[in-house]
A and B are shown apart, each in its own frame.
Chain A
């Protein structure tokens, strides 16, 4: 008897605990009575009748936080501006609910499960491996998510709302630009240097397509791993192959050492880098002169501060009026990406409000009906709709390095779409 008192206590504790846990979860989503089209949307998962909650699953820590932080700040600035103007459809304010994924799939799965029943949609889920891990569940649950990666795999996913021209488009456009400027005549040797991960592979796919479409062949192709400290081996291979131009996918830490090794080894090809390679610190490093002479970056949208582009003017004003709490460098490409992404999600939500249905199902339906979304020149238009008709932006912009320019860059040609990029078909 004496011992069973303890047992009873324990039993009670477990029961209380399970009730407590029950209290903090299991909000019923997708409640049955859907409002008909045209009426006011009724309260549902992530929408209490006045405020729409949107989920953000992004690395706010770890090496990839350099991307997640400014990107989320871009999301936030757009919604700050939108809320000040009344909100979605002029009346529904938007609130972001963030969860740190650390760029780790299990953490992201748990974060997704935490947020899915209390958010209307996910404005941002960052990282190819993360989205791949979540996609089966997203599809099962019928939620909508904006992938923050430029991988082309998302184009044909009904539940995803990517923005921007995929890496493949960037690679094709950059090669096209090179071949019609410095690389004229086609006698130049083009090489590639790729980070050995899905991001590097997306760049490699784009180059492979460009090879076919533009009629050149990589003279050499080398790989490296994030965290490598010495690149003499790889750079020597490129140098020995006599490369005139090298396509580079990587991240800033490794890129700094790679470019340094090349500069020290008197190897000066035309470097053409995918946007994540670039950080402003590179233009302030000892490599400044080398980079100003030999380095291009491909990305999308106009140069920071180009107020002839209406979208840019608005973005600069919004950033000044609703400054991110943690400083984001002017011209940070991820910041603009996050801003565009929030804008695309807003268009979807407005469509859903018009249909009078902000449930997960209603938002998914809105994605199929929202049509083309324009970014006012901050990037190419993106056509949503039924999956087979979706068509991502085909435009890219080329930048050269100029230490005194915004974000250390200077535009060479902005928002152009090559014929080859127009032809690219997404599976």
Chain B
């Protein structure tokens, strides 16, 4: 039982990271109607910028995190303004491919600037732990959950309460109608990119805490976060959070129990588990758990 709870805790921390990545996907999807494949690149960029501030500049950790969040927000807006603004009205496929092109660019930028070696982020949590009811909880995991909760809470407050949040929802429902209502669609899209950059940076930072965890492979996380996003429904922020936690917990439980109890599934089944869960759910609900079906307009 202790093992089980320990797995669930670790899975929640992993899931919180997935949720941050998936939330970035959903925000962009709602604003532009496409999946942003460059999200993984932004996550890695966030981690490296934070590392650059702690290690190369010697800034305090909090400053480094804020700098990473700010920088990724700016990069997000730049991507939108410089590249994607030219793609308005193009088919979704073309825009997706552009984001893939951007991923290639960002993924090369990182080792070009910082090299291929693994580095230490220099976070204050290290390998410290807290004992609670027989469980050993890592501080980095607790803080990951806290940061994710704060970020998600902040996002939902912004999304529900602010004027921009309202505008974002309007744009997601119907761009042209929103435009007719005097909403600046361009500004809304830019804000969406900024938010997506910010949550990406937080995902990157929480992923790269601990020992030698800053490495260019951080961007792989996006591949496991796709199922989290799809699971909840492409356009549902709440769904992204639930999907992320679900995938994270399933994955750690699989890694913990499958080798012993279901060895016939092959080595490292936990790697594909998110996709299996995703496919099973999509077979039942083709638009995810909370997604809105697309309406056919001939």
Contact = CB atoms under 8 A, between A and B. Distances in A.
Interface of A: 61-63, 65-66, 69, 196, 222-234, 236-237, 240, 252-253, 255-257, 259-261, 263-266, 279, 281-282, 284-287, 290
Given A229-B17, A266-B136, A281-B120, A253 B212 contact: yes
28 contacts: A62-B116, A65-B111, A196-B267, A223-B268, A224-B268, A225-B268, A227-B271, A228-B255, A229-B221, A230-B14, A230-B251, A231-B255, A232-B7, A232-B256, A233-B7, A233-B256, A233-B257, A237-B259, A237-B260, A256-B212, A257-B210, A260-B138, A264-B127, A264-B129, A286-B126, A286-B127, A287-B126, A287-B127
Contacts of B116: 61-63, 65-66, 69
B136 A265 contact: yes
Contacts of A61: 108, 111, 116
Nearest to B124: A286
Given A232-B10, A233-B253, A260-B211, 8 more contacts: A63-B116, A224-B268, A227-B217, A227-B220, A230-B10, A230-B14, A285-B210, A287-B127
B127 A260 contact: yes
B111 A279 contact: no
A233 B252 CA distance: 6
Given A257-B210, A260-B211, A285-B211, A252 B270 contact: no
B136 A222 contact: no
B176 interface: no
Most buried by B among A62, A229, A257, A260: A229
A20 to B, nearest CB: 30
Interface residues of B, number: 46
A338 B211 CA distance: 28
Contacts, number: 128
A24 to B, nearest CB: 27
B272 to A, nearest CB: 10
Contact of B6 (A63, A66, A232, A252): A232
Nearest to A263: B127
Given A236-B256, A263-B127, A282-B212, A66 B10 contact: no
A261 B9 CA distance: 13
Interface of B: 3, 6-7, 10-11, 13-14, 17, 108, 111, 116-120, 126-129, 136, 138, 207, 210-213, 215-217, 220-221, 224, 248, 251-257, 259-260, 267-268, 270-271
A240 B108 CA distance: 41
Most buried by A among B217, B251, B267: B217
A224 B11 CA distance: 16
Most buried by B among A196, A230, A266, A281: A230
Nearest to B254: A233
10 tightest A-B CB contacts, nearest first: A286-B126, A233-B255, A256-B212, A233-B256, A256-B211, A285-B211, A232-B10, A253-B215, A260-B210, A264-B138
Nearest to B271: A225
Most buried by B among A231, A237, A256: A256
B254 to A, nearest CB: 7
Contacts of A285: 120, 126, 210-212
Given A230-B255, A264-B127, A285-B120, A256 B213 contact: yes
Contacts of A284: 120
A286 B136 contact: no
Contact of A230 (B126, B220, B252, B267): B252
Nearest to A260: B210
A127 to B, nearest CB: 15
